[in-house]
Amino acid sequence: MVIKTLNRTEAQNAMKEWLSNYPALPGIEKDYLKIRNDIQIFNQQVRTECPQEIAKRDYYIDAHIGILLYNYLWKQPGFNLRTAANDDFWRYLSVKVVPDVVAERWGKDNESHYWSKPARIWLRSIWWYVHLSWQGDILTTIRVLEAPCFSTDSILNLEERTGRRGTFINVYRYIMYYYSHISQSTLNNFNKNTKTQQDDLFRVVMKLNTAKVMVIDPALYLGGEKEYVRALFQDAGVRV
């Protein structure tokens, strides 16, 4: 796969062109036509398999499409972490390759989830959510992501709290692991003691981490990153 990109201006113009020709999809090269078809297939697969009665349907779709996209892109020649960190690549994928898939989740008039706000570009967001939650293999990771404690808010809280010293990926993965194993009764009890509904345990732990990594290198913490994360939860008042 030759990595294609769109800058902000190019993405804006490409989206206008797509909308003017809707529902026709933009013309792209042959290798990206296959990628388009494959992503469309697993998008429909997830939507078909999603239980109709599920309470967090949007989160189910985000998590399951995210893990399929994550696994799929790693198998594409030329794709790597540098590519994943390039917002212009995600703009190209969102606006030129599968704008129909993005539209099915967010509608056609939501530019932030296509190109305008990097942290909100949907395909980028769900790919990085899986990467920051990765537990070594697909089945173990999806078991963590399927924990009832997670929601679409979890995706935002996990991704939008990178500190000035960057992202300690293993710390995020331990946070996701430990949080997924906390009982619902413990979470409910914690929420009762907060001032607002916004201050759930996950948000509190992420805020604590953002503050602590300014003065502590988690890898140098006694016991390493795993014990550093356990200490975060203990500071929040929950033993894991």
24 and 103 belong to one structural domain: yes
- What is the tally of structural domains in the chain? 2
For residue 166, the model assigns a pLDDT of 67
- Residue 142 belongs to a domain: no
Indicate whether 116 belongs to any domain: yes
Enumerate residues 6+ apart whose C-beta is below 8 A from 36. 25, 28, 97, 98
Say if residue 103 is in the same domain as residue 177: no
Q: What is the pLDDT of residue 53?
A: 84
Handedness of CA 104, 109, 110, 111 (dihedral sign): positive
- Neighbour count for residue 55 (Cβ, 10 Å): 9
For residue 1, the model assigns a pLDDT of 87
pLDDT less than 50: residues of the chain: none
Contacts of 4 (CB under 8 A, 6+ apart): 29, 32, 89, 92, 96
Residue 50 and residue 122 in one domain: yes
- Domain co-membership, 171 together with 132: no
Residue 198 has a pLDDT of: 58
Q: What integer pLDDT is reported at residue 162 of this predicted model?
A: 64
- Does residue 15 lie in a domain region? yes
213/130 same-domain check: no
- Domain of 109 in residue numbering reads as 1-136
Residues 128 and 23 in one domain: yes
Q: Are residues 61 and 121 in the same domain?
A: yes
107, 174: one domain: no
Is residue 148 a part of any domain in this protein? no
Judgement on whether residues 205 and 120 belong to the same structural domain of the protein: no
Is 90 in the same domain as 200?
no
Q: Report yes or no on 35 lying in a domain.
A: yes
pLDDT at 197: 56
CB 104 within 8 A of CB 46: no
In a domain, 151, yes or no: no
Report yes or no on 215 lying in a domain: yes
